[in-house]
Amino acid sequence: MALYLIGDLQGCDSALGNLLATLDFSASRDTLYLLGDLVNRGPDSAGVLRRLMRLGHSARCLLGNHDLSLLAVASQLRAPHRGDTMDGVLQADDRAAMLDWLRHQRMAMHEHGVLMVHAGVLPQWDVSATLALATEVESALRGPGMTDFLAHMYGNQPAQWSDSLVGNDRLRVIVNALTRLRFCTAEGVMDLKTSGGLEATPAGFLPWFDVPGRKTAGAVVAFGHWSTLGLLRRPDIISLDTGCVWGGCLSAIRLGATRDADELIQVKCVQAQAPGQVTRT
């Protein structure tokens, strides 16, 4: 049995197929953990969703900001952005099945000693709090109030967590942290505008994983979302968005008994070079 963490797919189904072939993946034996942004910007979001749906429980998926955006567009709560490639899902005969499957995916997971989120975790949250707060968003997505939740999901305020937050403000902060966070202050005030790498860190802010005293410091946290950061492997951090949709690699980590035993497997995206070219480190 092998366990794999996989970074952002963003509609790159051919790269996913190449990766699974390289891994000799077996749905009856192995498990994939997809770190969110399954769809959008790439050429075949519908193909990605159909493939993951066929894999059943062997594909454990998180929701990223692009996945939530698809649900909002499908609910006619926002227009697609320029460069979005959602029509393959929105115009499909099996659209309803794909969207229903998508809204039942997770916002955070903690399995095999790894806390998995799409983007980040605020410094005030420990593992238990992160999972509990993620469940609040999952319940909103799966319940009869999904449309109201999606209608109020967007916005950068409040910019900081407080246990006293309620209603849409509370859910918005949770969503922004789990699916959009890159930088925050030591007090957990989020910067949700800067999208560059570490060299672009705004004055007074830190990468969320470098905030002193963050309550997940004793955990291993795996995430995607941050293609300008790229691959980052530390004893406590696994960053796996290596820009497949931008012509980079699709990256997977095969979890070992220790972080030193983890194995990195990458396939080049077709936008970069011929399908199936593989590098291993």
In 3D space, the residue among 150, 45, 151 whose CA is nearest the CA of residue 98 turns out to be: 45
Query: Which two structure tokens, joined as six digits, stand for 34?
Result: 């997809």
CB 208 within 8 A of CB 193: no
Q: According to the model, what pLDDT value does residue 280 have?
A: 37
For residues 63-85, give the mean pLDDT: 96
For residues 163-180, give the mean pLDDT: 98
Confidence of residue 279 (pLDDT cuts 50, 70, 90): very low
8-state DSSP, 81:
P
3-state secondary structure of 60: strand
Question: Which residues lie closer than 8 Å to 137 by C-beta, 6 or more apart?
Answer: 107, 149, 171, 174, 175, 178
For residues 148-159, give the mean pLDDT: 98
Q: According to the model, what pLDDT value does residue 271 have?
A: 57
Res. 276: pLDDT tops 60: no
CB 5 within 8 A of CB 253: yes
Q: According to the model, what pLDDT value does residue 269 have?
A: 85
Percent of the chain whose pLDDT exceeds 70: 96
Q: According to the model, what pLDDT value does residue 277 have?
A: 44
For residues 140-161, give the mean pLDDT: 97
Query: Which two structure tokens, joined as six digits, stand for 59?
Result: 């594909």
Sheet of 3-6: strands edge to edge?
Answer: 59-61, 31-34, 3-6, 249-254, 263-268, 278-280
Q: Tell me the pTM.
A: 0.95
Q: According to the model, what pLDDT value does residue 151 have?
A: 98
What's the CA angle centered on 138, arms 194 and 112, to 5 degrees?
Answer: 85
Q: Mean pLDDT over all residues of the chain?
A: 95
Give tens-digit pLDDT for 199-213.
999 999 999 999 999
Please state whether beta strands 114-116 and 109-111 pair in parallel, antiparallel, or not at all (unpaired).
antiparallel
Confidence of residue 108 (pLDDT cuts 50, 70, 90): very high
For residues 189-202, give the mean pLDDT: 97
Res. 238: pLDDT tops 80: yes
Residues in a beta bridge with 251:
266
Q: According to the model, what pLDDT value does residue 272 have?
A: 40
For residues 32-46, give the mean pLDDT: 97
Rounded Cα distance between 155 and 170, Å, is: 12
- Matching residue, tokens 């968005």: 241
Confidence of residue 254 (pLDDT cuts 50, 70, 90): very high
Q: Is the peptide bond before 158 cis (omega within 30 degrees of 0)?
A: yes
In 3D space, the residue among 58, 62, 61, 57 whose CA is nearest the CA of residue 3 turns out to be: 58
For residues 57-82, give the mean pLDDT: 97
Confidence of residue 281 (pLDDT cuts 50, 70, 90): very low
HEC secondary structure over 203-223: CCCEEHHHCCCCCCCCCEEEE
Rounded Cα distance between 142 and 138, Å, is: 6
Q: Backbone dihedral region of 223: left (phi > 0), alpha (psi from -120 to 50 degrees) or beta?
A: beta
Res. 278: pLDDT tops 90: no
For residues 30-47, give the mean pLDDT: 97
Percent of the chain whose pLDDT exceeds 90: 95
